């Protein structure tokens, strides 16, 4: 028994140099490959997951049967295969090998199914089975050979199973393959045929991917909408000859009918305009682009076009005629919105080289034709086109958030086709909304697995004598932490003491997370995969389990904790004389909030050691900051607000601008210094494998919108270096607009590149620098609880001070470089998720009422003005197009339905060159103050869209009257405030939003108090 036959396969391969290489591969055939059926008398083996079946649920196959699938079914129908009602499936080795080769995500899901006990999936190694192995015939393609191998294996199973009264059915969507299988007298059906025949699997048909239908339609249907894609061969040849270019397709944020393709070596991206030129490319696809002759180049469109708004207006019927009309309207819209800015290379997509198809969260739109199974799915990501799905359970899905996968995009369909995967939850439900954000941003958020939790230290955790021998004991020093109120994951603490020499010793102590997370363990792998903690407005998704993040690694007061310390000697002028790193044990004297620390510093009566040390830290930090800014560091601004959320019913109680205290920049300065010191030290010892963080200088073209906006206010900014930019930002203030400078900084922030991690060995030292912080080298060391990069930096430093041994991956530049890419991706996605979460929270706070805000003009378009509303930290779109406006007015609550129809609609004129919008005498420029009203469009229960209206300046026939003072807005109640969730403190250059907004809040509170008093009086 066992090895039966040894076959030699001989290949000839041509090497790059032109030599012919002979490769001999031995292929072993065995006769001890088991069928996997539990209870089969003919086979042995301990893995027998397949059940001995007694019944069948299928009307097509009445005998008890197991499923065998071909490769394409595995690739495209993995959602069906994952469904609970599909069990007892035989996965042939031919299939799993091909799947692994063609799609790693599907392969991973298939492996998960094989590991799931009750799915009863079994891998049959047919390629090593003496009765199932087939040689490739002359002139037979690899695909055809594999299809034949699958049919032969099915045939073998049918005969082998017969003695146990079992049967098998081959599921293939390839009609040719199905018919050839039937010639062998084995049962074969397409997925659709088979699933339709099941009697007890309602809803399963919805999940069947719509791949097979495409073929049939293509033959009969003549009305193609899209040009065909070029063949891959033709694309490859044309890329080589320079006729085509390859790049990543990015849909415009403002206009779903426009996209950019970044091409290496081009200064400007290639512009793609209109559905036909986009030719079925999706955001993030890698596409082949043909560039038009120069006379056909065009400028980016000057209008905001929102897919959802557009579809809502075209009626939303889902048939070919509606398609045609909608496409015509889109063309008109694009033509009308033609921008008169600078032309840039323009072209069209001729083929998709690599699809970035994934699963999408969203909602389905009600089809106006009742009983129709065809529905449009609206993805949450605005850059993704609506997806056509078929479902028989639409009624129950209308108020749900769901997941849909794209299957295909045939030439005759305006929208891609997809299938329903699963329901996430009810619209508006907090958990469902969070889930959508996390899924959309690819943030791992499942509970930590058993194997991860097993890596944690057992409680009670005690410090051993060995630990004390290996660490510096700093428990006698007055260390404390300074954080936002309610912070539970404290990863940094500080101290400062006067030395006899008159100099200062300053220490930054960081949670020693790498002590608990050993390289290569399940815990390490999980933390690495997550890479960062994700902060949503009402939830935190930790990178490491709670026991570490909020307990053993959290540098809480009055308990012994392990730290990784950096200790400097500084002159009273904050000149650093020396720096050293050590592993230590600390005992924090207190977990202070920023406010508490500030109070201690400001109170002259407080003279204790801890307060003195805070005062010295603050004194040194101010000097460090001054030097940093002299060097050209930028002080940027972002729209950060804090939401106070009622924990009981999850509604927003209040939104406040983030306050700025001296103690915040005190902590920030020392974190920055610790990070710079860590960067310098690791780079010095490991020039090729230090993990650093760089912030590239933005290319000059990035500054164009900022410069144009500043120019419209007669302000000239010098963007030639970070230093000149910082200087001109400091000088640019306006007395009549106290928010002007912050706005300018917010706009500057938007011109910046992303800061990224990288491995020092992969770049030239000139490229290491950090533009925003104006330092030649930088890294992250101070937040290992919430950032994986910091853990790597800790490990490198531990090797340098000989506290730990190294391991091979740590010093492998290629591995480190791959890891930085991964961390960069997760980091960016986590940031977007955080922003998405604030947006949803802000929108929720506007629901069911009309709110009035001061806003500032950010961007101007032909049909819209984008304004920034500091009070809620959001950007809103004020459409100038009256057609939209009237529609909204009709749906708006009675109260504010002004009869605007009597006044003729005003004409808005957009001057793109000088950047202003004119309406009669009135001119609106960037940074101008507009008073606006915002409310949530109540007409669509599924989707919350903010409707923005102008209040001031007054434009007859367009603007709405102001709200009565103290009416709608003042109904907020001061309630218990929740704990804020905050990210790391370094490299965060937020500036508080000041003056006018604070006044506004204050005013509101006063009115509220008056009202309360009135109420009391009445009682």
Tell me which residues touch Zn ion (CB under 5 A): 35, 40, 42-43
Nearer to Zn ion, 125 or 821 (CB): 125
Residue with Cβ nearer Zn ion (40 or 624): 40
- The C-alpha atoms of residue 304 and residue 253 are separated, in whole angstroms, by 9
Rounded CA gap, 959 and 402, in Å? 38
Kindly state the smallest distance separating residue 64's Cβ from Zn ion, in Å. 15
Min CB(135)–Zn ion separation in Å: 25
Nearer residue to Zn ion within complex by CB, 132 or 536 = 132
Asked if residues 346 and 297 have their Cβ atoms less than 8 Å apart, the reply is yes
Minimum Å gap between C-beta 51 and Zn ion is 13
Nearer to Zn ion, 43 or 432 (CB): 43
Whichever of 35 and 397 has its CB closer to Zn ion, that residue is 35
Q: Given the complex with Zn ion, which of 40 and 81 has the nearer CB atom?
A: 40
Phi, psi torsion values for 884, nearest 5 degrees: -65, -35
Residue 43: CB minimum distance to Zn ion, A: 3
Three-class secondary structure of residue 705 per DSSP:
helix
What is the number of other CB atoms lying within 10 angstroms of the CB of residue 974? Answer: 10
Point out which residues pair with 655 in neighbouring strands: 643
Q: How far is the CB of 160 from Zn ion (least distance, A)?
A: 6
Identify which of residues 35 and 153 has a Cβ nearer to Zn ion in the complex. 35
39 vs 700 by CB, closer to Zn ion: 39
CB of 32 to Zn ion, least distance (A): 11
Q: 3-state class of 201 per DSSP?
A: coil
Give how far Cα 727 sits from Cα of 370, 730, 907, 923, 992, Å: 64, 5, 40, 29, 19
Pick from 408, 423, 209, 414: nearest CA to 307: 414
In angstroms, what is the minimal distance from the CB of 308 to Zn ion? 56
Which residue, 93 or 618, has its beta carbon nearer to Zn ion?
93
CB of 37 to Zn ion, least distance (A): 5
- Min dist. Cβ of residue 157 to Zn ion (A): 9
Distinct helix (H) and strand (E) counts, the chain: 30, 38
Nearer CB in complex with Zn ion: 41/265? 41
CA-nearest of 243, 567, 240, 434 to 834 is: 434
* Residue whose pair of structure tokens reads 């509303």 in the numeric block: 869
* 43/955 with CB nearer Zn ion: 43
Task: Return the C-alpha torsion angle 823, 828, 833, 839, nearest 10.
Answer: 160
Q: Which of 632, 493, 619 is nearest to 563 (CA)?
A: 493
Separation between Cα atoms, residue 495 and residue 507, nearest integer Å: 5
In angstroms, give the least distance from the CB of 36 to Zn ion: 7
> What is the closest distance, in whole angstroms, from the C-beta atom of residue 89 to Zn ion in the complex?
16
Distance separating alpha carbons of residues 461 and 37, to the nearest angstrom: 49
Report the nearest approach of Zn ion to the CB of residue 159 (Å): 11
- Rounded to the nearest whole angstrom, what is the least distance from the CB of residue 314 to Zn ion in the complex? 59
438 CB-near residues (< 8 Å, 6+ apart) = 445, 534, 536, 541, 833
Count Cβ neighbours within 10 Å for each residue of 984-1016 and write b for 16 or more, e otherwise: bbbbebbbbbbeebbebeeebeeebeeeeeeee
Nearer to Zn ion, 43 or 322 (CB): 43
Least distance to Zn ion, CB of residue 421, Å:
35
Least distance between Zn ion and beta carbon 42 (Å): 5
Closest to Zn ion by CB, 42 vs 232, is: 42
The C-alpha atoms of residue 190 and residue 181 are separated, in whole angstroms, by: 12
| Nearest to 391, CA basis, from 414, 409, 375 | 375
Whose structure tokens read 């990863």?
A: 491
Give SS3 for 446: coil
Sign of the alpha-carbon torsion through 341, 343, 344, 349: positive
Q: Give the nearer residue to Zn ion in terms of CB position, either 125 or 996.
A: 125
CA atoms within 13 A on the CB side of 888: 21
d(CA 128, CA 865): 67
Residues 6+ apart with CB under 8 A from 694: 755, 756, 758, 763, 767, 768, 769, 770, 778
Rounded CA gap, 609 and 607, in Å? 7
Contact residues for 479 (Cβ-Cβ < 8 A; gap 6+): 493, 494, 495, 507, 509, 586, 587, 588, 589
CA distance 584 to 793: 17
Of the candidates 440, 431, 404, the one whose C-alpha atom is nearest the C-alpha of residue 419 is: 404
Rank residues 157 and 230 by Cβ distance to Zn ion and give the closer one.
Answer: 157
Task: Closer to Zn ion by CB, 40 or 536: give it.
Answer: 40
Rounded to a whole number of angstroms, the minimum distance from the CB of residue 48 to Zn ion is: 9
């Amino acid at each position: 028994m066992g090895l039966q036959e040894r076959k030699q396969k001989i290949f000839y391969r041509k090497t790059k140099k032109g030599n012919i290489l002979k490769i001999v591969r031995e292929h072993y055939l065995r006769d001890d490959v088991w069928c996997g059926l539990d209870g089969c008398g003919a086979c042995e083996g301990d893995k027998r997951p397949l059940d001995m079946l007694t019944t069948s649920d299928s009307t097509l196959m009445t005998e008890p049967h197991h499923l065998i699938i071909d490769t394409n079914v595995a690739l495209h129908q993995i959602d069906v295969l994952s469904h609970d009602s599909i069990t007892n499936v035989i996965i042939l080795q031919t299939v799993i090998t091909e799947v692994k080769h063609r799609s790693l995500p599907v392969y991973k899901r298939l492996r998960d199914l094989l590991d799931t006990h009750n799915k009863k999936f079994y891998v049959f190694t047919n390629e090593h089975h003496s009765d199932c192995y087939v040689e490739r015939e002359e002139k037979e393609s690899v695909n055809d050979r594999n299809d034949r191998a699958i049919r032969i294996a099915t045939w073998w199973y049918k005969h082998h199973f017969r003695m146990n009264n079992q049967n098998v059915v081959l599921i293939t969507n390839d009609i040719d393959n199905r018919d050839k299988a039937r010639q062998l007298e084995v049962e074969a059906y397409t997925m659709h045929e088979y699933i339709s025949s099941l009697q007890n699997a309602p809803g399963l048909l919805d999940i069947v991917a719509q791949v097979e239908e495409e073929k049939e339609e293509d033959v009969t249907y003549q009305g193609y909408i899209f040009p065909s894609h070029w063949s891959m061969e033709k694309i490859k040849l044309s890329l080589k000859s320079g006729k085509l270019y390859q790049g990543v397709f990015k849909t415009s944020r403002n206009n779903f009918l426009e996209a950019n393709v970044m091409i290496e070596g081009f200064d400007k991206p290639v512009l793609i305009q209109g559905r036909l030129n986009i030719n079925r490319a999706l955001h993030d696809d890698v596409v082949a682009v043909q560039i038009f002759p120069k006379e056909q180049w065009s400028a980016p469109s000057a209008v905001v076009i929102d897919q959802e708004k557009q579809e809502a207006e075209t009626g939303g019927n889902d048939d070919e005629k509606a398609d045609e009309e909608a496409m015509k309207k889109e063309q008109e819209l694009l033509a009308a919105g033609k921008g008169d800015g600078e032309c840039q290379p323009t072209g069209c997509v001729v083929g998709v080289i690599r699809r970035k198809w994934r699963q999408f969260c969203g909602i389905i739109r009600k089809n106006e034709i009742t009983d129709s199974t065809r529905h449009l799915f609206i993805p949450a990501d605005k850059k993704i086109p609506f997806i056509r799905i078929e479902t028989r359970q639409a009624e129950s899905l209308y108020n749900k958030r769901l997941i849909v996968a794209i299957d295909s995009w045939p030439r005759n369909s305006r929208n891609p086709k997809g299938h329903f995967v699963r329901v996430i939850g009810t619209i508006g439900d907090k958990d469902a909304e969070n889930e959508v954000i996390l899924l959309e941003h690819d943030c791992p958020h499942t509970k930590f697995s058993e194997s991860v939790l097993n890596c944690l230290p057992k409680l009670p955790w005690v410090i051993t004598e060995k630990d004390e021998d290996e660490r510096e004991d700093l428990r006698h020093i007055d260390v404390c932490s300074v954080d936002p109120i309610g912070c539970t994951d404290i990863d940094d603490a500080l101290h400062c003491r006067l030395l006899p020499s008159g100099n200062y010793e300053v220490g930054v102590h960081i949670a020693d997370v790498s002590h608990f997370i050993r390289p290569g363990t399940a815990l390490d792998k999980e933390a690495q995969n997550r890479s960062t903690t994700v902060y949503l407005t009402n939830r935190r998704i930790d990178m490491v389990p709670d026991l570490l993040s909020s307990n053993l690694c959290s540098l809480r007061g009055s308990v012994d904790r392990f730290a990784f310390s950096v200790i400097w000697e500084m002159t009273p002028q904050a000149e650093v004389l020396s720096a050293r790193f050590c592993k230590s044990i600390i005992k924090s004297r207190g977990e202070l909030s920023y406010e508490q620390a500030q109070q201690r510093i400001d109170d002259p009566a407080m003279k204790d050691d801890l307060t003195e040390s805070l005062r010295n830290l603050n004194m040194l930090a101010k000097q460090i900051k001054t030097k940093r800014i002299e060097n050209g560091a930028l002080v940027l601004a972002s729209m950060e607000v804090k939401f106070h959320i009622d924990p009981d019913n999850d509604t927003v109680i209040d939104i406040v601008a983030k306050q700025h205290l001296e103690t915040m920049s005190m902590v920030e300065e020392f974190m920055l210094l610790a990070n710079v010191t860590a960067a310098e030290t690791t780079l010095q010892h490991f020039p090729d494998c230090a993990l650093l963080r760089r912030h590239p200088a933005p290319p000059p073209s990035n500054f164009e919108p900022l410069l144009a906006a500043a120019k419209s206010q007669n302000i000239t900014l010098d963007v030639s270096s970070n230093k000149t930019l910082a200087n001109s930002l400091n000088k640019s203030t306006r007395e009549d607009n106290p928010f002007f400078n912050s706005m300018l900084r917010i706009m500057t922030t938007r011109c910046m590149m992303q800061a990224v991690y990288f491995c020092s060995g992969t770049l030239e030292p000139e490229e290491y620098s950090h533009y925003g912080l104006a330092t030649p080298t930088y890294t992250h060391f101070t937040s290992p609880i919430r950032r994986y990069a910091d853990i790597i930096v800790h490990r490198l430093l531990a090797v340098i001070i000989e506290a730990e041994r190294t391991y091979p991956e740590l010093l492998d530049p290629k591995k480190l470089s791959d890891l930085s890419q991964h961390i960069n991706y997760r980091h960016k996605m986590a940031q977007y998720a955080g922003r998405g979460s604030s947006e949803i929270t802000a929108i929720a706070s506007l629901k069911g009422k009309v709110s009035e805000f001061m806003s500032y003009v950010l961007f101007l378009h032909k049909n819209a003005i984008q304004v920034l509303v500091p009070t809620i930290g959001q950007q809103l779109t004020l459409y100038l197009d009256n057609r939209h406006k009237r529609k909204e007015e009709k749906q708006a609550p009675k109260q504010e339905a002004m009869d605007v129809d009597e006044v003729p609609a005003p004409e808005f004129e957009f001057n793109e060159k000088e950047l202003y919008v004119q309406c009669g005498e009135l001119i609106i420029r960037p940074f101008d103050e507009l008073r606006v009203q915002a409310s949530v469009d109540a007409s669509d229960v599924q989707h919350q869209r903010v409707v923005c209206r102008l209040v001031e300046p007054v434009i007859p026939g367009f603007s709405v009257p102001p709200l009565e003072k103290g009416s709608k807005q003042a109904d907020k109640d001061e309630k218990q405030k929740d704990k804020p969730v905050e990210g790391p403190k370094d490299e965060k250059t937020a500036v508080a939003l000041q003056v006018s907004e604070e006044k506004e809040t204050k005013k509101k509170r006063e009115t509220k108090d008056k009202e309360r008093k009135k109420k009391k009086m009445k009682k």
